[in-house]
Structure formats: C-alpha cells, structure tokens
Amino acid sequence: MANITNYKIELDAEKVRKFGYQVAGHPGVLEADDGKIVMKPLDERELQFYEGSKTCPEIQPFLATFHGHLKHTDRDVDNAEEPAEEKEYLCLENLVHGLKEPCVMDVKIGVRLWDIDATPAKRERTIKQANRTTTVELGVFITGMRVDGQPAVDRGWCAELTSATIMDALEMYFSAAEQRVSIGFRKQIARQFIKGMTDLMAVLEKTETRMYSSSLLLVYDASRQRHNDLLLANPAASRTSGNSEVAEDGAVIRLKAIDFAHSHWTPGQGRDDNYLAGVSKLIELFSTFA
C-alpha cells in the first residue's frame, strides 16, 4: 500500500505516477493530483532556495509554484518488484498540465556551472563538461527538448550541438507552432518568450542571488484547436509579465526558472551577472524566430 506523509499539501498517494514530460535532469520525477503537481526528489539546497524565494515576491512569477515537500513511500514506478522505499520530494506546479500539445525545452543558463562550495576536482570536471557543449561559448546549453508528437531529444544529442547547430535545434523546437498553426504564430510565441526573459532580467538586475547550473524551462502549446478557441474567447487577450498567459494571437507559453540545487540567496553580493549574460544570449538566439 502506497503511503504519503504529508507536510504541507494533500495528495492521493494511489494516483502518483512517473512524470511523462521530463526532458532533462535527474531521474525519479513523479506527478500527482491528476497531473497538476510534479514531485521532484528533494535536494536540501533547492528546498532552501524555494523557501527563501518567499521573501522576494518579484521573482515568484518566474518560478514554478512551490507547494511544499512531503515523504512518499511506494514501489519503484519502473520496477514493481523492488522493495518499497520512503523518499522526500519537492512538490511543484506541473508546467505542462492543461496544455493540449505541449512543446518543452530545458536550457541550462550561464558559463559558470560549478557551485560556490565545489571541490577543485568537481570544479575541474564541471569546466571540462562545459567545454564540450555550447555552455562556454554561448552561456546557454539546451539539455533536453520535446516537441509534441515526437520523441524527446536526449542530453547526448544536445551535447553535440555547436554555436552554429544550436539554431537547428531551436528551429526544431518552434517547428510545431509554424507547421500546425502559422509562421505568425511561431513569431508571436518567440516574441512572448523574449518578453518574458526580458522581464525576468529586469527582476534579476535587482535581486541578489547566485543560480549556478540552473535552467529555464520554456513551454508552449502548439494546438491549433486551443489557439482558435482562445481567439474566439478573447481576441484581445495579452500576457502578464512572467505568468502563464494568453498571447495576443492565442499562443499559450510558460517560462520558468527551475533547478536550484546549486542556487543561493546572496545578500550584499549584487546581481548574478553569470545568469544574466546567459539569458541575454538566449534572447538574442530567439530573436531570429521572432
């Protein structure tokens, strides 16, 4: 019998299952509450970052909603013969919930990825890994991607991308919007992502953090039906800074900073130029599609 020891939220343990839209990061992510909640294996530093974010309301629209943490005891969802094990999880908003044809991309941000307390060996290993990807040259690294209706693109394929071929990956990401709706729809999605990233940068300019090896998760709905339904419902709809909203032509995008296992609130140390430079570069790359 599955069991959940609850800290801050109520979940039905019998409905916990493997998360089907993970495109990057460590395995073991689950979903619950009819797909509304993602359960991510708990990392103490990441928990501290989410708890600390409560004192910075300006950044909240750019983070997945944090619902607390809990213990969940169940058998391995991939191997029912394994003995039950109790684990702790962070409970976060599922950013693909409610979308008909979600297209997801995870982009690691910044040239520097090692943490402030990394050992010399860890730092050297991280630098070598970064040199093998677009991290050092561009300050961004696509770690995973999934276009609705197509197999997920894994980290191995992404690691082979260069400063030239990364544009091919972005073209693949936006392809569903263009093919299923229109070129104008693709351009509007790209513009809305750029607007969201610009708004995020404005907040981070005044926020004292260090977000090493953190990512931006970018999601849009490529559904022509949803696009048309939203237009009929509200032709003049527009999006609000940072939130999951309806763009002017019916696009639905979600843009959130994620993965804070190496992130810190750093009062008195100023802005995070490493992260800001990476977001700026991603805006530059996206402008080609806008």
pLDDT at site 1: 26
User: Could you give the CA distance from residue 245 to residue 254 in angstroms, rounded to a whole number?
Assistant: 8
187 neighbors 250 (Cβ within 8 angstroms): no
- Confidence check: pLDDT of 276 > 60: yes
Binned at pLDDT 50, 70 and 90, residue 114 comes out as: very high
With a pLDDT cut of 90, the percent of the chain lying above it is 59
CA-closest candidate to residue 71, choices 22, 27, 11: 11
* Mean pLDDT computed over 141-149: 91
33-87 tens-digit pLDDT: 788 888 899 999 999 999 999 999 999 999 999 988 888 876 555 555 666 678 8
220-233 tens-digit pLDDT: 999 988 777 776 66
Phi/psi zone of residue 232: left (φ > 0), alpha (ψ -120 to 50 degrees), beta? alpha
pTM score, two decimals?
0.86
